Amino acid sequence: MSNSLNLPQGLISQHNTIANTDELQKMMNQYQQKTAGGANFNGGHISQHYNQDQGSGLGQKNLSADNNESEDAKSKRRSKNDVDGRDFKCKYCDKTYLSYPALYTHMKQKHSKGPDGEVRTPPTSGRGRGRPRKNSEEYFNAPERKGGPTDVLNHFDQVYDQLFKGDKNYKTFSDYPIYKQLVQFSNKQDSKGHGGRQDDGVSNPNGANEEEKLANSGNQKKWQRNYENLNDNDRQAMYVDEIFALYLFKISQKVNDAFYKIVLTYVILFRECLNEIGWQKKIESEGIKIEEDESLRHKIQTDQFCLVNNAEHAPEICNEFVTVYMEQKRGSFEITKPDQIDLTINLCHWLFENQFTCSKLTMIS
């Protein structure tokens, strides 16, 4: 707690110009009356012998004390990237933290459990500070977007050819990791080709009809897991491509064919950006000493980030994705800047709400 003295403005400069001590005493008495009900200045009294040198020295003394306290406070602050003193370890995912409250918050949000293993309330959807987020249903219910259900494999070959011209990482679009995960959600007879029904892009204002609902219900037999009722073990076992495929499936149920193509393009680009800088974000966020972790160095050199990691660090790339990566790739797609931002907000919000990340994206205007 710092003790500072707030002097009335102009009092010191006036003191040198007043020769009559009676006039000075009168001024001081008036000031005491004005401040009697306010802050306590040295017990409510200003010394009759107060002079400019004393005021200057006292001001310097208090300023120095404030500065020292500020420096002490700064020296005691610890960054989340500090590697020393991270003695609190999560027994479910091995992440480490500087304090017990930080560990408790992580386990409650990410695993719906406390450090004692007892079930805790899942994370709520309460809003934080910053710009109020756009309602997801409101965004997708716009006339130019609303429709569905749309088959998740629609346009995949076109989008792949558009984004990966001359790329030899995959023999065909059907070898792309997200495609392999999307097959389980598709109603097409020939999942590897162009067969099956293509949507005509006409919105269905009433949503899926009975025939489509039955098809989707029967399609669940192909699912790798019960995506309508995921447990904590399921979430821990799901890597980025499976998570993003589930997101695309959920969106495909409520948007028309034309807009689904935009969302599909966006998700593939987001995945490619996460592959490029995901390892860096993981190292920074978890305070990993890469020079001491030979197995991780090997994994970085041999594995795509999205193939061996969950979506915990996905929201951390948002700024680079929208401002840098999408600008570099803008010749290969047609997604407006507002849609880029809205889809980024929606994807990260969906990841948080479904407990695939404990990072909550906040837009700062």
| Same-domain pairing of 167 and 304 | yes
The three-class DSSP label of residue 88 is: strand
In this structure, how many other beta carbons lie within 10 angstroms of the beta carbon of residue 7?
A: 13
pTM for the model stands at: 0.62
Q: Mean pLDDT throughout 229-247?
A: 96
**For position 182, what pLDDT does the model report?**
97
CA atoms of 259 and 262, how far apart (whole Å): 5
Which residues partner with 88 through β-bridges? 97
Does any domain span residue 5?
no
Does any domain span residue 130?
no
Expressed as residue numbers, the domain containing 263 is: 136-353
Q: Mean pLDDT throughout 213-220?
A: 55
Q: Among the three residues 92, 122, 152, which one is the final residue of a domain in this structure?
A: 122
| Same-domain pairing of 194 and 316 | yes
| Same-domain pairing of 154 and 189 | yes
Provide, rounded to the nearest whole percent, the portion of the chain with pLDDT above 90.
42
Report pLDDT digits (tens) over 58-80. Answer: 444 343 444 454 555 555 555 55
Which contiguous run of DSSP H or E holds residue 178? Answer: helix 177-182
For residue 194, give Cα distances in angstroms to 2, 44, 156, 157, 188. 73, 86, 9, 8, 9
Q: What CATH number is attached to the domain comprising 88?
A: 3.30.160
Residue 145 has pLDDT above 60, yes or no: yes
| Same-domain pairing of 154 and 87 | no
Dihedral angle at the C-alpha atoms of 68, 71, 76, 82, nearest 10 degrees?
A: -170
Does any domain span residue 94?
yes
Lowest model confidence (mean pLDDT) among 158-167, 212-221, 227-236, 264-273: 212-221
**For position 362, what pLDDT does the model report?**
75
Torsional class of 127: left (φ above 0), alpha (ψ -120 to 50), beta (otherwise) = beta
Does any domain span residue 128?
no
Does any domain span residue 242?
yes
The three-class DSSP label of residue 96 is: strand
**For position 50, what pLDDT does the model report?**
38
| Same-domain pairing of 26 and 104 | no
Report pLDDT digits (tens) over 154-201. Answer: 999 999 999 988 776 888 999 999 999 999 999 885 454 443 334 444
CA atoms of 156 and 148, how far apart (whole Å): 17
Number of domains in the chain: 3
| Same-domain pairing of 304 and 164 | yes
Contact assessment for residue 98 and residue 80, using Cβ atoms and an 8 Å cutoff: yes
| Same-domain pairing of 271 and 226 | yes
Residue 51 has pLDDT above 80, yes or no: no
Q: Mean pLDDT throughout 219-223?
A: 83
| Same-domain pairing of 183 and 54 | no
In this structure, how many other beta carbons lie within 10 angstroms of the beta carbon of residue 186?
A: 20
| Same-domain pairing of 83 and 71 | no
